[in-house]
Amino acid sequence: MPAASDELPSSLVGLSSEAAQHLHLAGVNYTLDKVAEAHLAAALRLAPEHLAVQVGYYRYLFYKGRLTDALQQLGVCRANAAQQSGLPQDWRTARQDDADFGNFDSIWARFYLFALKAQGYIEMRLGRQEEGRSAILKVLELDPSDKVGAKILLDVLDRQGHDDYE
């Protein structure tokens, strides 16, 4: 039995050691754009459908401030979650009874919500408030108990243009 420190994080289960190594090297070389991107590209070639690779690439783009690219990659992540869970590819058509969104044991449904919340946030950052609002409202429709914390983004949208003293 492997020692606890030798166990793979659950997000890397099913990922080849070579692809995992490329993800690791992309992180280590985060400040060297060309090197990090080469490792991310290699990981994507080796495991294009693996969520850890898709999310790793998304996070790299997001934290580099490449929001338009991050939004596109987030769409890839959400499409993967939709395919894995049987949820609609078009998030606008998703309904609360399509999955048990309130059950955090349902990793794909939960990820679908988090991806949609992230989409709303990025849309807001890109100045597309109505698109952001639509995504956030859909998250709240699917997750009325707000386990993923989307309401705070809606509150930010609602406060825009209002003085704190009003």
Report helix, strand or coil for 97.
Answer: helix
* Separation of alpha carbons 137 and 150, rounded Å: 8
Structural domain boundaries in the chain: 90-161
Residues 8-50 have pLDDT tens digits of 455 567 899 999 999 999 999 999 999 999 999 999 999 999 9
* Separation of alpha carbons 114 and 118, rounded Å: 6
Cβ-count burial 102-122 (b if 16+ within 10 Å, e if not): eeeeeebbbbbbbbbbbbbbb
pLDDT at 164: 57
Residues 82-104 have pLDDT tens digits of 998 899 999 999 999 999 888 87
Inter-CA distances, 89 with 46, 92, 125, Å: 24, 9, 23
pLDDT at 165: 54
**pLDDT bracket for residue 106 (50, 70, 90):** confident
